[in-house]
Amino acid sequence: MAKVIVVLADGFEEIEAVSVIDILRRAEVEVVVAGLRDSLIKGAQGLMIKPDCALESLDGDDFEMIVLPGGTQGARNILNDAVCDRLLRKFAEEDKYIAAICAAPFVLAEKGLLKGCMATSYPGFKDIVEKDAEYQEAIVVVDENIITSRGPATAAEFAFTLVELLVEEDTAEKLREGMLFSYVDDED
C-alpha cells in the first residue's frame, strides 16, 4: 500500500488538503497528516484539523509522496520550515513524488525544485513559478516526480491524478464515477 505525507501549516487551504486526504484514503492509500506542530492547525477559512503527528517525527523513508496544500499563508509557513525543507530535498534526491497545489508550487520554485520542469500554480504565483519552470495553464501538470495543480477548484482532479500515479488509473476512474465527478452527457 502506498504511503503519503500531507503537510499542514497554519493558513492551509482546506478544500485542497481535505480533498486530497479523502480521495487518497478512498483509494486505500495510507495518508499521514503531518502538521508543522503536533496540535490543531488552523486553515485559511478557520477549519481546525488535528494532524496525525508532527512533521518532525517523520523521516520520509517509508513514503512514496509528500503533498503540500496551498493557501498563501500555509505555503509561506511551509517555505520557512526547516523540517519540511529537509524532507522536500530528500524526496527530490530520491526521485519520490512531490505534489503541490495552488500557492504551494511557489515553495518548490523558491527551493529550486522546479528547475527545468513543467509546472502550474494559482495564477497569482505564476511569475515566481515560471522563473525556473515551464509554466502550464493546465489543471494538473505531471513532470516526472513533480505534480502541480492550480487551486481550490482543481483539488479533486489533483487528488485523482495522485491516485493514478500511486495506485492505478482504473482506481481513479472508479472513484471519479462513484463520487459523480464523471457523468454521461444526457444529450447524447
- Starting at the edge strand that comes first in sequence, how are the strands of the sheet with 53-54 ordered? 53-54, 30-35, 3-8, 65-68, 97-101, 146-149, 140-143
**35 three-state secondary structure:** strand
| Distance in angstroms (rounded) separating the CA atoms of residues 115 and 59 | 25
The per-residue pLDDT for 186 is 44
Give the pLDDT confidence score for residue 182 in this predicted structure. Answer: 72
Give dist(CA 14, CA 48) in Å, integer: 9
Domains of the chain by start residue, with CATH:
3-178 (3.40.50.880)
Which pTM does this prediction carry? 0.95
Does the pLDDT at position 187 exceed 80? no
Find the angle CA(169)-CA(129)-CA(29) to the nearest 5 degrees: 30
pLDDT of residue 75: 98
DSSP per-residue string spanning 131-161: TTSEE--SSEEEETTEEEE-SGGGHHHHHHH
The residues with which 135 forms a beta bridge, in sequence order, are 119
Closest by Cα among 63, 141, 149 to 101: 149
Task: Report the pLDDT value the prediction gives residue 183, as an integer from 0 to 100.
Answer: 61
Q: Is 102 a catalytic residue?
A: yes
45-66 residue pLDDT tens: 999 999 999 999 999 999 999 9
- Each residue's pLDDT tens digit, 80-119: 999 999 999 999 999 999 999 999 999 999 999 999 999 9
Once rounded to an integer, what is the mean pLDDT over residues 112-133?
96
Name the pLDDT band for 185 (thresholds 50, 70, 90): very low
Name 24's Cβ contacts closer than 8 Å, sequence gap at least 6: 4, 31, 159, 162, 163, 166
| Res 184 pLDDT > 60 | no
Beta carbons of 127 and 109 less than 8 angstroms apart: no
134-158 tens-digit pLDDT? 999 999 999 999 999 999 999 999 9
Structure confidence at residue 14 (pLDDT): 98
Q: Of 53, 84, 102, 117, which one is the catalytic site residue?
A: 102
CB atoms within 10 A of CB 142: 19
